[in-house]
Structure 1
Amino acid sequence: MKEKNLELERLVFFSDAVVAIAITILVFNLKLIGDEGKHITFTDLWQTWPKVLAFFLSFFIIALFWKLHHQFFFYIRTIDEMLLWNNICWLLFLVLLPFSTTLIATHFTDSAAMVAYCANVLLINVFQNNIWDYAAKRPELLTPGIDERLTKFYRRVCNVAMINSVISLAIAFFFPVVGFIILVVRLPALMFSERLFKAMK
């Protein structure tokens, strides 16, 4: 059991470090367009709005993913090989998000860029869902006596997030900006649902 707990701690610390790096890299995309030597104008600042929007959305998406991951592993007490690999795949697509953020920052209204971004978010959602879905079906991996309502709530949160990503991905093929807006809407919706669940406990 001690060895398993050590494995769990190493997994959580490694995940936190990777998430911290990914969320930091996002800021490198915030650059002004034009000559560095000239004085900047408000027009120059305004031209960066797609990059700023992409940065803020990706920042809060990664933060939300990390928050859920943190909550999951508060209740997950031990890991096995399958859970480990689901977490590794989750990190794989999480660290890819700064690249897809660069795509929409420079090609905000292009379908290909937005589809790539939405697909990236969807894959992160899929593996985050797999982490909790896999653990929730195996009581030996969770804290003894965990409230069944809690396990169901987190499964629903993951399902709603995946549905949101699928819808945004489908719409992004035809209306890239609308697909982006749908992803934005998920943030307050998920936070509101969590507050509502806590208020009902």
Structure 2
Amino acid sequence: MLSPDSIERSRDLDRLLTFVDAAVAIAITLLVLPLVDLAGEIESDDSVWQVVRDHAGQFGAFVLSFVVIARMWRAQHEIVRGAVEDRSDIFWSLIAWTLTIVFLPFPTALLAATGSQVATKIFYIGSLLVSSILLALLAAAVRRQRPPGAPHRPSVIPAAVDAVVDAIALLLSVFVPVLSYFPLLLLVLGGQAAALVRRLWPALER
């Protein structure tokens, strides 16, 4: 049994994290495939810049989802730094979180053509919401392995704040269609909101 004060990971956990990283890498790579297919349709006498302008939505969807997945992976990476054992709560939280990331290329592909549809917004922003909730659950699971004051004990607050922001963004996007996906920019304020929560309710970090 590993000491809760240790940051040495079990072999099973290392293998799980390697699998998760590989799945995220594949998902983030799949985002570019529609653009690769688009490049294959360009004729020699076509204007590349005109094609880019005509398919700006696809390029925008690619950049948005690339940033989103990278941000989510970074948050997951920070959380699991303190994990030492592959317990069932950590395992299933990570696997379920990975599912939300692997699924994201599907709503990303829908954005350019059907981005205004409610179903697309639910698929896309809803995936981010579920992903943030799972990161909060993962952080809570890792915290149970790390006693107060131990190094790399993650906070649940950042992921929980992101989940709240995602829920607000989803409601705004669905019920105020003119806002489109711009409510997701609220995630930029997530760090400041998390810091405010820490100041107002310091007991949450114990």
TM-score range, shorter chain: 0.7 to 0.9
Alignment of 1:41-80 (within 5 A): 42-80=49-87
Identity %: 28
| 2:115 paired with 1:108 | yes
- Number of residue pairs the alignment of both structures matches: 190
Q: Residue 184 of structure 1 aligns to which amino acid in structure 2?
A: L
Superposed CA deviations along residues 122-152 of structure 1, whole A, max 9, x for unmatched, are: 111111111012222x1xx23784269x64x
| 2:51 paired with 1:36 | no
Please state whether the residue corresponding to 2:31 is helix, strand or coil. Answer: helix
Q: More helix per residue: 1 or 2?
A: 1
Q: Normalised by the size of structure 1, how large is the TM-score?
A: 0.81
Please state whether the residue corresponding to 2:158 is helix, strand or coil. Answer: helix
Cα separation, 2, equivalents of 1:22 and 1:93: 10
Aligned match of 2:202: none
Q: Residue 48 of structure 1 aligns to which amino acid in structure 2?
A: H
Q: Residue 120 of structure 2 aligns to which amino acid in structure 1?
A: A
Contact 1:133 1:155 in 2 (8 A): yes
Query: Per the alignment, do residues 159 and 129 of structure 1 end up closer, same or farther by CA in structure 2, a change over 3 Å counting?
Result: same
Cα separation, 1, equivalents of 2:40 and 2:22: 34
Alignment of 1:1-201 (within 5 A): 1=1, 5-30=10-35, 32=38, 36-37=42-43, 38-40=45-47, 42-136=49-143, 138=144, 141-142=145-146, 145-146=149-150, 151=154, 154-176=155-177, 178-186=179-187, 188-190=188-190
Cα separation, 2, equivalents of 1:8 and 1:33: 40
Cα separation, 1, equivalents of 2:84 and 2:115: 42
Cα separation, 2, equivalents of 1:176 and 1:32: 28
Q: Normalised by the size of structure 2, how large is the TM-score?
A: 0.79
Query: Per the alignment, do residues 177 and 104 of structure 1 end up closer, same or farther by CA in structure 2, a change over 3 Å counting?
Result: farther
Q: Shift of residue 35 of structure 1?
A: 5.4
Q: Shift of residue 100 of structure 1?
A: 0.9
Please state whether the residue corresponding to 1:173 is helix, strand or coil. Answer: helix
- Structure 2 alignment gaps of length 5 or more: 3-8, 199-206
Please state whether the residue corresponding to 1:172 is helix, strand or coil. Answer: helix
RMSD over aligned CA atoms reads 3.0
Cα separation, 2, equivalents of 1:160 and 1:126: 9
Q: Shift of residue 170 of structure 1?
A: 1.2
Cα separation, 1, equivalents of 2:105 and 2:52: 21
Query: Per the alignment, do residues 97 and 62 of structure 1 end up closer, same or farther by CA in structure 2, a change over 3 Å counting?
Result: same
Query: Per the alignment, do residues 56 and 20 of structure 1 end up closer, same or farther by CA in structure 2, a change over 3 Å counting?
Result: same
Q: Shift of residue 172 of structure 1?
A: 2.2
Q: Shift of residue 33 of structure 1?
A: 8.8
Contact 1:111 1:174 in 2 (8 A): no
Between stretches 108-117 and 124-133, larger displacement belongs to: 108-117
Q: Residue 112 of structure 1 aligns to which amino acid in structure 2?
A: A
Superposed CA deviations along residues 145-183 of structure 1, whole A, max 9, x for unmatched, are: 4269x64xx311111110111011112223346251121
